[in-house]
Structure 1
Amino acid sequence: MSTSPETPASASVSPGRPRRRWLRRLSWMGLGFAVLLVIGSVYQAVSAAADARDFPPPGKMVDVGGHRLHLNCTGEGRPTVVLESGAAALSSAWAWVQPEVAKTTRVCSYDRAGVAWSEPGQEPHDAAHVAGQLHTLLANAGESGPFVLVGHSLGGLFVRVYADRYPGEVAGMVLLDASHPDQTERLPESVRMQLAVSVKVMALAPAIARVGLARATGIFNQLGRGLPERAFEEVAVFSCSPRHLETTYAEMRAWNDSTAQVRATRGLGDMPLLVVSAGSAVSSAGAELIPAFQALHREMVSLSSRGQYRIIPEANHLSLLTDESQARQTSAAILDVVREVRATRMSGAASP
């Protein structure tokens, strides 16, 4: 009677065992990932507490009705220049420009609700609400017009709405490589795709910041590269703040509302206006952005019968503020409008 051969040991292993081993490995991997998230969150919380101690607001905190905004004013004289930052930027971004302008006249930088040192508010982050809060901030701080409004990037939309809502307070305007309300429809498709990707990245940024990855990698630090050391450190601190990044994303989400509000504004009459364009791209990938934006900027000159246009050839969108020599050209552009406002006011006072 024949017998079957002895069964190899490997054949006796249950098919379920490899699956169980993989499940155990995945469980350990998941546990390790969770531990890293906890460690990162603790790292972020401890570092944020140290930041609050080491980086107090350079200006003053002003109540605007339920929350406080940070306002930093320096210099003396009229008109007062008000600096409105772009998306993701804070008042520290004007660290080269503000001292230069302050040699000639009073100048104020500030942080919008939820940005940097400013406390978050309950209102939307569209242009109309930003303009209203800025108006309240200046009034409550005792800062009176006439104002020369300077809007960089997204800030260009905000200052246009401010001038429309409070025309008696605004005597001049500088649109500094400013956003155009029609740019999402009129820029080349490749550029629109780049901007759409930026919005998606910003949607993830607060979560990245909460677990310490933004701080550990310094992924957003390039926004302040080139600024004076203290200002660069302030930008680095807030570029990894979840609240600051949440506000940035909220301002981006409000784009359609903000642009609709800008389209509804009136012209600037004969107000002194200077539209400034950057002449270089931040990177080679953005080279086609430059002529497209410059064409839109030239259109904005017609907002005023006294509109003028200027290109700073070697500057890019960020270095208009962050590069010392290029920021001096930005400051000179602002002061040109200040002098024009002064000349206009003096001639008006002298006329019968």
Structure 2
Amino acid sequence: MSASSETPPPASVSQGRPPRRWLRRLLWTGLGLALLLVTGTVYQAVSAAADERDFPPPGRMVDVGGHRLHLHCLGEGRPTVVLESGANSMSSGWAWVQSEVAKTTRVCAYDRAGNAWSEPGQGPHDAAHVVEQLHTLLANAGESGPLVLVGHSLGGLFVRLYADRYPEQVAGMVLLDASHPDQLERLPGSARKQFELGVKMMALMPALVQVGLVRATGLFDAMGRGLPERAFAEAAAFASTPRHMEAAHDEMLAWDDSAAQVRATRGLGDRPLLVVSAGAAAGAPELVPAFQALHREMVSLSSRGEYRLIPEANHLSLLTDQAHARQASAAVLDVVLQVRAPPVAGAASP
């Protein structure tokens, strides 16, 4: 038989089809991912249920019209100090400061709508809505003025607007490494890039929380590390809930509206004001001097404004480090004592 008459070899059975080993790998990878997601979701649900049991609200749940906010007050005396947290923070973050200030006067920390123990509301998360909810919360809880407002980070915007809307209630203010309404326009360009990146990351957080990744990695534990044990556990637990993450994201999305509202406010007149800056960097060191310059400008909001630098503290440790928080508490108590002091004869009243 000639070579030309030989029967050609059969075509490969795999011709025109992907190799079976790749199909098997794809299948097992998909099954593995699905198993991880299911396991993570179950882990998150079980852990969240345990947190709800182990960490009941330490304060009161107060109705503010359709939903309830958590308010935790300690101490006695006047004026009443009201603590306003920064973004992605909560009332437990004030544990060191609140316990120290409570030795001298009444002091209240609370959680904004959707944060920590507070129930979500229907309104926006801009400064105007936050202020109205805080005003309703204090009124419904029977916490009357005079008030000394203390704002950390983003909370600095909220207390400034509160003082403008309800000047008759506010006797003094402390701004702790507070946000400035013009900071994204006036700080180096890296600040806006960091802010925009933070907003994008926060948008992903609820989904990552839902499948247990945030809890398993302790992604936000550093924000509360250094607090008393109970407060740290509460902060870590609520940083691992989708609701808290969604509220924090919504507050960041409302930045432009909040900043515009604060730009339109008046000053504090002759009510005492203490502006405190952290001297060390928690993130980008090149931004620290620029932030401090903005803080010094805010001293002019009051004819009795003062500036104080805590060199060894950073933005977070002002509250979470016991020694640094003691210095922040001293700043709050300095304003409390100024409010308590009798007016000087012939001086204008606030």
TM (normalized to structure 2)?
Answer: 0.95
| C-alpha distance in structure 2 between counterparts of 1:145 and 1:347, whole Å | 23
Q: 1:138 to 1:18 in 2, by over 3 A?
A: same
* Aligned match of 2:191: 191
Residue 234 (1) aligns with residue 228 (2): no
SS at match of 2:275: strand
In terms of fraction of residues, the more helix-rich structure is 1
* Aligned match of 1:12: 12
| C-alpha distance in structure 2 between counterparts of 1:348 and 1:2, whole Å | 126
Report 1:308-319 matches (<5 A): 308-319=306-317
SS at match of 1:18: coil
* Aligned match of 1:92: 92
* Aligned match of 1:163: 163
Correspondence for 2:332 among 331, 334, 339 = 334
| C-alpha distance in structure 2 between counterparts of 1:278 and 1:348, whole Å | 36
Shift of 1:94: 0.6
* Aligned match of 2:150: 150
* Aligned match of 1:307: 305
Taking only the aligned residue pairs, the percentage that are identical comes to: 76
Shift of 1:16: 2.8
Shift of 1:2: 1.8
Moved beyond 3 Å, runs of 4+: 4-9, 344-351
**2:339 aligned partner, one-letter code:** V
| C-alpha distance in structure 2 between counterparts of 1:345 and 1:67, whole Å | 41
* Aligned match of 1:46: 46
* Aligned match of 1:253: 253
SS at match of 1:73: strand
**1:339 aligned partner, one-letter code:** L
Shift of 1:23: 3.8
**2:228 aligned partner, one-letter code:** P
Report 1:69-88 matches (<5 A): 69-88=69-88
| C-alpha distance in structure 1 between counterparts of 2:346 and 2:54, whole Å | 48
**2:138 aligned partner, one-letter code:** L
* Aligned match of 2:285: 287
TM (normalized to structure 1)?
Answer: 0.95
Report 1:167-178 matches (<5 A): 167-178=167-178
How many residue pairs match? The answer is 348
Alpha-carbon RMSD across the aligned residues, in angstroms, is: 1.9
Encode CA deviations 1:65-114: one digit per residue, 9 max, x unaligned.
11111000010110000000000111000110001100110000000010
Structure 2's unaligned 5+ residue stretches are: none
| C-alpha distance in structure 2 between counterparts of 1:77 and 1:95, whole Å | 19
| C-alpha distance in structure 1 between counterparts of 2:200 and 2:168, whole Å | 39
SS at match of 2:243: helix
SS at match of 2:171: strand
Encode CA deviations 1:221-262: one digit per residue, 9 max, x unaligned.
111000010001001101111100010000000001100110
| C-alpha distance in structure 2 between counterparts of 1:313 and 1:347, whole Å | 37
**1:130 aligned partner, one-letter code:** V
| C-alpha distance in structure 1 between counterparts of 2:174 and 2:258, whole Å | 19
Report 1:49-60 matches (<5 A): 49-60=49-60
* Aligned match of 2:262: 262
Encode CA deviations 1:290-341: one digit per residue, 9 max, x unaligned.
0010011111111111111010000000000000001000000000000111
Encode CA deviations 1:110-134: one digit per residue, 9 max, x unaligned.
0001000001110100000000000
* Aligned match of 1:323: 321
Structure 1's unaligned 5+ residue stretches are: none
**1:124 aligned partner, one-letter code:** P
Shift of 1:22: 2.7
Q: 1:54 to 1:344 in 2, by over 3 A?
A: same
Encode CA deviations 1:39-78: one digit per residue, 9 max, x unaligned.
2111111111111000001111111111111000010110
Residue 25 (1) aligns with residue 22 (2): no
Report 1:64-143 matches (<5 A): 64-143=64-143
| C-alpha distance in structure 1 between counterparts of 2:343 and 2:320, whole Å | 32
SS at match of 1:109: strand
SS at match of 2:341: helix
Shift of 1:200: 1.4
**2:340 aligned partner, one-letter code:** R
**1:114 aligned partner, one-letter code:** G
**1:298 aligned partner, one-letter code:** R
**2:35 aligned partner, one-letter code:** V
Shift of 1:37: 1.1
Shift of 1:32: 2.3
Encode CA deviations 1:7-57: one digit per residue, 9 max, x unaligned.
668x62332333554344323322321222122111111111111000001
| C-alpha distance in structure 1 between counterparts of 2:119 and 2:346, whole Å | 41
